[in-house]
Every structure is written in structure tokens, then in C-alpha cells.
Amino acid sequence: MKQLLLVFLGGGIGSMLRYIISRTFNDYYQHFYLGTFLANIIGCLIIGLVFGLSIKNNLLTQNQTLLLGTGFCGGFTTFSTFAFENHAMLKAEEIIQFSIYTISSITIGILAVALGFWLAKLIH
């Protein structure tokens, strides 16, 4: 039960922060969805760092990993919104924006996870 509460707490905090970031940045950059992009990339960096500290360095407990990795990052990042925004760009025939958004999100996201793991190595 404690583990479920940790995931619930982390997910709630992550979701609220994602909402704030999305509302702040998506309003200004309507054709790129910068808020969702930032939340997903920051979340990728954090999850790489969290799992790097947990798996490679044993610096985080299982409960801390659940709170931060599964809970916070799970609530903070969003694949469903990313897919919906891609659909909206395709529907609006914004092929260039769609391509840039999709390719940069996936590529930079993977690089951010790798950066998180690399930073975790420096901490230990």
C-alpha cells in the first residue's frame, strides 16, 4: 500500500507541474506545443538520472525510485498528449511542424535519458 501511495503522490505532483508548464508554454507556441515538449524532455532527463542513481549507483531506494521515476516522471511526461498533438498537426496539414516536433521529441528525449545516466555516473 505504501508503494501505491508513493506512486500516487509523485504522479499527482508531476501531473500538476506538467499542466503548469503546458499552460504556460503551449499558449505562446501554438504550432510546436513547446510545453509538452519541455515536460517530456525534462522528464526524460529526470528518469535517466533517477534510474541511473538507482540501478547503477544504488543511491536511491526502491521507494524513492517509485516516487520519482514511476510516479513523478509518469505523471510529468505524457505520450498520449504527444500523440494527440501530432494528430492535430497532421489534421491541420502542418507536415513540417509535425516532422520537427516528432523527430526532435524522440531524438532529444533519448539523448536526455542518456545524459541523465551519464550525470548519475558523475554523482557516484
Q: What is the pLDDT of residues 72-117, one digit of tens each?
A: 999 999 999 999 999 999 999 999 999 999 999 999 999 999 999 9
Give pTM, 2 decimals.
0.91
Residue 6 has pLDDT above 90, yes or no: yes
Residue 101 contacts residue 89 (beta carbons within 8 Å):
yes
Residue 57 contacts residue 120 (beta carbons within 8 Å):
yes
Per residue in 11-43, pLDDT tens? 999 999 999 999 899 876 667 899 999 999 999
- What's the average model confidence in pLDDT over 48-53? 95
Shortest CA distance to 71 belongs to which of 14, 116, 18, 17?
14
Domain range list for the chain: 2-123
